[in-house]
Amino acid sequence: MKFSALAIITLTLLSGCASKQVTQPDWIAGDSAGYSSAQYLLGRGQAVTQEEAKDRARADVAKIFQVAVVASSDDVQKFKTGTSGPGEYEGQASRSISTHTEQIVRGIQIAELWQDPTSKNFHVLAILPRLQTAASLRQQIGQLDEATGNYVEQSRKNSDLFLKIAAANQAVESEQERESLQKSLQIVDATGRAPDSPWHGAKLKSDLDELLKRVKIASQVSVDSTPGLAEIASGALAHAGFMIATDQNPDFVLQTRMELADLGLKEGWYWQRGVLEITLTETTTNRVRGTRRWTIKSNAPDKDSSFKRALTQADTLLKQELRTAIIDMATSH
């Protein structure tokens, strides 16, 4: 009798413990019953704190767009240096793509949060509604189509060559933004349905290239500049699409200057630091249209390599930014 009573008590206690056991949500290890993948994009995050887990869940959704869009876009190379190792170039999405990704991220919602009773880690489920996001993307695509049309019209009507170039360049950039949004739409909506673009990206680029070739620019390098800079400046000017003037009648003169300071050996790495500067001068009036400067910094295990890396950084930077810098300088006065 005593044994039976004890057994009953023991079974009751075990039953009570079992009823209090916390069940792990389904979305941690698989699909979510409450948030269908057909209706939502899902992201998961895990961390010691709630806020960090939420950030990781949002990032898990955002990376879907970043990976898909950047994989088919022109990466912007960003130079990164660190005291613990040599400088390196890393891929970075273009500014327009990053902007649109940020807009998408703002629509991400935190749907569920669960704390593991054993590890005490927080688990978070983030969701992005497909229907609302697709509608927003289609609206943005329509706005970009309208903007591209306005830029094309401005380029055709302007009599000033550089204003024509500036508008044509904006038309190209606007169409590239549209292409990135279209890729995002295909992620959100399997059909990816959006009105066909009224503009052809290849034709817009061709029109811009023809305008750029009408501008003759002479490339000059300051005598006190770093050896090897002349070839880099000329190459970047050609890469930008402008006609390099070889006669005595250029429209503009681009003066490039870079002086490197040898910072010596620090923590096992040789360092170079300097300023890269370009100045655009109109030849008919001898008027300076503008100046741009960038900081150059490089490191390497030996001095020669640190110097070469500084030149490589200058080359990459000019090829990325020279066209926009010249257009901005020529149209800002």
Q: Please give the backbone phi and psi of residue 102, each rounded to the nearest 5 degrees, phi first.
A: -65, -40
Domain presence at residue 2: no
User: What CATH code is carried by the domain that includes residue 61?
Assistant: 3.10.28
Q: Does residue 222 sit in the same domain as residue 324?
A: yes
Q: Please give the backbone phi and psi of residue 326, each rounded to the nearest 5 degrees, phi first.
A: -65, -45
Residue 68's domain spans which residues? 36-130
Domain presence at residue 16: no
Q: Does residue 40 sit in the same domain as residue 125?
A: yes
pLDDT of residue 102: 72
Angle, alpha carbons 321-325-328 (nearest 5°): 145
**Which of 153, 177, 212 is at the close of a domain?**
212
169-227 per-position pLDDT tens digit: 999 999 999 988 888 898 898 776 777 889 999 999 999 999 999 999 999 999 888 89
Q: Does residue 137 sit in the same domain as residue 103?
A: no
Among 286, 234, 298, 293, which Cα is nearest to 260's?
298
pLDDT of residue 5: 53
Domain presence at residue 197: yes
Residue 208 CA to residue 6 CA, distance in Å, equals 90
pLDDT of residue 78: 36
pLDDT band, residue 22 (cuts 50/70/90): low
The percent of residues above 70 in pLDDT, for the chain, comes to: 82
Q: Does residue 303 sit in the same domain as residue 224?
A: yes
124-138 per-position pLDDT tens digit: 999 999 999 999 999
Q: Does residue 75 sit in the same domain as residue 145?
A: no
pLDDT of residue 229: 94
pLDDT band, residue 160 (cuts 50/70/90): confident
Among 219, 168, 172, which Cα is nearest to 327's?
168
**Which of 180, 212, 244 is at the close of a domain?**
212
Among 108, 94, 115, 113, which Cα is nearest to 136's?
108
Q: Does residue 140 sit in the same domain as residue 104?
A: no
Among 198, 209, 191, which Cα is nearest to 174's?
198
pLDDT of residue 96: 53
User: What CATH code is carried by the domain that includes residue 290?
Assistant: 3.40.50.10610
pLDDT of residue 106: 82
23-67 per-position pLDDT tens digit: 899 999 888 999 999 999 999 999 999 999 999 999 899 888 876
pLDDT of residue 331: 84
pTM over 0.75: no
Q: Does residue 43 sit in the same domain as residue 90?
A: yes
First to last CA, the chain: 103
Order across the sheet with 269-282: list the strands: 243-244, 216-221, 252-266, 269-282, 287-300
79-122 per-position pLDDT tens digit: 333 333 333 323 333 455 556 667 777 889 999 999 999 999 99
Domain presence at residue 232: yes
Domain presence at residue 242: yes
User: Partners of 292 in the beta sheet?
Assistant: 278
pLDDT of residue 11: 46
Domains contained in the chain, number: 3
Q: Does residue 121 sit in the same domain as residue 138?
A: no
147 has a pLDDT exceeding 90? yes
Domain presence at residue 99: yes
Contact 232, 260 (CB under 8 A): no
111 three-state secondary structure: strand
Domain presence at residue 96: yes
Residue 331 CA to residue 304 CA, distance in Å, equals 40
Task: Give the rounded distance of the alpha carbon of 300 from its chain centre.
Answer: 26
The DSSP code sequence of 4-19 is HHHHHHHHHHHHHHHH
Q: Please give the backbone phi and psi of residue 222, each rounded to the nearest 5 degrees, phi first.
A: -60, 145
Q: Does residue 286 sit in the same domain as residue 322?
A: yes
pLDDT of residue 321: 94
- Computed over every residue of the chain, the mean pLDDT equals 84
Q: Does residue 244 sit in the same domain as residue 318?
A: yes
251 has a pLDDT exceeding 50? yes
pLDDT of residue 196: 84
273-307 per-position pLDDT tens digit: 999 999 999 999 999 989 999 999 999 999 999 99
Across 222-246, average pLDDT: 92
**Which of 109, 130, 151 is at the close of a domain?**
130
Q: Does residue 222 sit in the same domain as residue 325?
A: yes
Domain presence at residue 19: no
Contact 307, 264 (CB under 8 A): no
Q: Does residue 191 sit in the same domain as residue 228?
A: no
